[in-house]
Amino acid sequence: MKAKQYFEDILRRVLEARSLSWPDKAVIEPPRERKFGDYSANVAMLLAGAAKQKPRDLAEALAVDLRAQADQIERVEVAGPGFLNVSFGPSFWHGILADVQAAGAAYGASDVGRGQKVQVEYVSANPTGPLHIGHGRGAALGDSLARLLKKTGHQVECEYYVNDAGRQMRILGDSVWLRLRQLAGQDVADLEDFYRGEYIRDIAARVHRQYPDILNLPEAQAIDLCFNEAVDEILAGIKKDLQDFRVGHDVWFSEKSLVAAGRIDETFADLLARDLAYEQDGALWFRSTNFGDDKDRVLRKSSGELTYFASDISYHHDKFTRGFDRVIDIWGADHHGYVARMQGAVEALGKKGALTVILVQLVSLLRDGEQVAMSTRAGKFETLADVVAYVGADAARFLFLSRKSDSQLEFDLELVRKKSMDNPVFYVQYAHARIHSMLRKAADAGIIPAAPGAAAFAGLAGEDDLDLCRALERFPDVVAQAAEQLAPHQVSHYLSELASALHRYYTRHHVLSAGAEVAAARLLLLSCVAAALAAGLDLLGVDAPERMDQVPEQAAEDATGDIPAGHAS
RNA sequence: GGGCAAUUAGCUCAGGUGGAUAGAGCGUUGGCCUCCGAAGCCAAAGGUCGUGGGUUCGAGCCCCGCAUUGCCCA
């Protein structure tokens, strides 16, 4: 961040002095290969036309100006078709260590999002059954996005929308009621169209125990009771599963409360008043064609029943009245057909562009390379809780957050389990633990990390030392970009690279036997690496342990937990 | 039939907003522990970036057609 900004500032001044304007497509980035320098700019190629010069000639001229003005930059070179490549000197890179140490756990933070109030809504699974692995992906993404946005200065609130009204909910109540009667020995019709997982049976049995007289109640009342008990119990389970996955929502928003508070009617009135809704054939329609949809959509059916769309519009209406500048919804990819419609609705609410929908592609769960079939209705699935118990929250989160959200993801239980000690997450955690192990050992020998300063920097003059500093310098850039692009996977990739650099350094440079002064200097460098690793892992919601006690062979033998073979009933 | 997305090494996936010789992990092959944690390091092999056009100084990335796969809607 620092280096890039420094280079850009000076380059802008140089261009200005030549009456050249900063091109829109100008990019300053680290070149793919180190030999081209630390940062590279493409402005000469973009401005050659305007300057009436060949790209290389212009670049040479700019290079002369840069050399004259940039005292932190050690080398300026022109290469290839006209790139301006610059290299910073050791003192600049050493300065990064002082930055990291001063910032500590806050390293990488920025205030680019200052003043922006953002809501992230994620998971929001219907409370009709336990969370499955696909919800876990959305949970990891939403939670990590919130962390990223907070780190970049946004004011963030996380929300879970509880769909506790509507058709699926009636089916849930009926499912428990029918199962309860069946368990009581009554003859009930085929349960084909109802939820029939093991957990439904458990809830039915529990409700019957708790309310022995339920069979004597009027049926509507009994179903109501079953429904309420079921939602409460399932929601409690969902909350626990999320907690075990280290995901916490600030607000649990009930759809029912929206209906009860009359908010939906308010939204309807608002839309009608602005001619964005109309009555026809006894139904209420939203003019979604005004916003690019291929046909208008029903809000309230002629039967009086509200559609999901109606409550979703009202819900988003409510979100914006709560003062969010930006709302991010994370949905499963199977809802993609719904995105344009919802965007249109938000536009109708006068908040065009304020809603971002992130689609999370499905997770195909495999066991030994074979697809595991999942169906909530039939109660046949792997729950998030099962998977987390099996591979651990860290491994699951890191895997989810190592992929772009819009690509499908394969999650092979046996593969993750078998390789669990050879998993990228452990590679990164191990780097962190390794450093702390050294710090402990050093402390025992009376060596503590040096303070940033000329004396310490003298011991960190090698290329490998500077490489680690360079990697540390990139971190704030990575965080800012991941936040801007809503892409936490960039953080996990960065962490793998930083860990790799650390392991290489560790192999090539013995720290503790290098003499007290050099050792102290290297410990300073490595403690900065540890701080960056911890800060990055924290953005993913993954632990950064200071020691990892298990060795691989032992771990493989110890990991004898069973993954249930599905709960088909 | 319409729409959304995906297609990069044997497998799973990155690829910083159009740049220089296309990257990582796993797997395969071969090296490295008298020393800070070998859960590690080094090296090799492995590619027509699905396909055909287009845009320009320059395309894995942008535009159009086609193919395949997944999903939504009718």
Is A227 within the bounds of a domain?
yes
Which one of A340, A360, A380 terminates a domain?
Answer: A360
Q: Is A117 helix (H, G, I), strand (E, B) or coil?
A: strand
Nucleotide nearest to A426 (CA to C1'): B39
| pLDDT score of A553 | 46
Same domain? For A467 and A337 the reply is no
Q: Which helix (H) or strand (E) holds A508?
A: helix A489-508
Q: How far is the CA of A407 from the C1' of B7 (A)?
A: 11
Same domain? For A264 and A321 the reply is yes
Is A395 within the bounds of a domain?
no
Q: How many domains is chain A partitioned into structurally?
A: 4
Q: How confident is the model at residue A562 (pLDDT cuts 50, 70, 90)?
A: very low
| pLDDT score of A290 | 86
Is A285 within the bounds of a domain?
yes
Is A409 within the bounds of a domain?
no
DSSP symbol at A212: G
pLDDT at A569 over 60: no
Q: How confident is the model at residue A294 (pLDDT cuts 50, 70, 90)?
A: confident
Average pLDDT over residues A47-51: 78
Instruction: Quote the CA–CA distance of A125 and A122 in Å, as a whole number.
Output: 8
Q: How confident is the model at residue A550 (pLDDT cuts 50, 70, 90)?
A: low
Same domain? For A38 and A129 the reply is no
Using alpha carbons, list the distances in angstroms from residue A414 to A402, A556, A557. Answer: 18, 12, 14
Nucleotide nearest to A49 (CA to C1'): B57
- The 3-class secondary structure across A259-306, one letter per residue, is HHCCHHHHHHHHHHHCCCEEEECCEEEECHHHHCCCCCEEEECCCCCE
| Residue A569 or residue A119, greater confidence | A119
Domain ranges, residue A52: 2-88
| Residue A155 or residue A419, greater confidence | A155
Same domain? For A176 and A253 the reply is no
Using alpha carbons, list the distances in angstroms from residue A209 to A123, A184, A205, A231, A564. Answer: 32, 11, 6, 17, 27
Among all chains, which residue has been given the structure tokens 């692995």?
A133
Same domain? For A52 and A179 the reply is no
Average pLDDT over residues A269-274: 93
Nucleotide nearest to A31 (CA to C1'): B20
Q: How far is the CA of A111 from the C1' of B24 (A)?
A: 31
Is A415 within the bounds of a domain?
no
Q: How far is the CA of A513 from the C1' of B34 (A)?
A: 15
Q: How confident is the model at residue A362 (pLDDT cuts 50, 70, 90)?
A: confident
Which amino acid residue lies closest to nucleotide B19, measuring CA to C1'? A42
Q: How far is the CA of A474 from the C1' of B59 (A)?
A: 27
Is A562 within the bounds of a domain?
no
User: Beta partners for A331?
Assistant: A359
Q: Is A85 helix (H, G, I), strand (E, B) or coil?
A: strand
Same domain? For A486 and A514 the reply is yes
Same domain? For A258 and A147 the reply is yes
On whether the CB atoms of residues A399 and A420 are closer than 8 A, the answer is no
Q: How confident is the model at residue A556 (pLDDT cuts 50, 70, 90)?
A: very low
Q: How far is the CA of A363 from the C1' of B71 (A)?
A: 13
pLDDT in tens, A211-259: 999 999 999 999 999 999 999 999 999 999 999 999 999 999 999 999 8
Q: How confident is the model at residue A373 (pLDDT cuts 50, 70, 90)?
A: low
Instruction: Supply the CATH number for residue A454's domain.
Output: 1.10.730.10
- Residue A285: Cβ within 10 Å count: 19
pLDDT at A194 over 90: no
Q: How far is the CA of A471 from the C1' of B66 (A)?
A: 44
Same domain? For A62 and A28 the reply is yes
Same domain? For A346 and A202 the reply is no
Q: How many CA atoms lie within 13 A of A48 on its CB side?
A: 15
Instruction: Quote the CA–CA distance of A564 and A407 in Å, as a whole number.
Output: 27
| pLDDT score of A560 | 44
Same domain? For A171 and A232 the reply is yes
pLDDT at A411 over 50: yes
pLDDT at A433 over 90: yes
CB-count exposure of residue A374 (10 Å: 0-12, 13-18, 19+) = middle
pLDDT at A371 over 80: no
Which one of A240, A261, A279 terminates a domain?
Answer: A240
Chain B nucleotides with an atom closer than 7 Å to a protein C-beta? 2-7, 12-27, 35-42, 57, 70-73
Q: How confident is the model at residue A533 (pLDDT cuts 50, 70, 90)?
A: very high
pLDDT at A181 over 80: yes
On whether the CB atoms of residues A411 and A499 are closer than 8 A, the answer is no
Which amino acid residue lies closest to nucleotide B37, measuring CA to C1'? A434
ipTM: 0.94
Same domain? For A157 and A282 the reply is yes
Same domain? For A154 and A172 the reply is no
Is A305 within the bounds of a domain?
yes
| pLDDT score of A561 | 45
Q: Is A158 helix (H, G, I), strand (E, B) or coil?
A: strand
Which one of A338, A360, A382 terminates a domain?
Answer: A360
Over pLDDT 90: what percentage of chain A? 60
Least Cα distance to A325 among A113, A144, A151 occurs for A113
Instruction: Supply the CATH number for residue A66's domain.
Output: 3.30.1360.70
Is A176 within the bounds of a domain?
yes
Give one word for A156, left, alpha or beta, with left for phi > 0 and alpha for psi -120 to 50. Answer: beta
pLDDT in tens, A512-525: 998 899 999 999 99
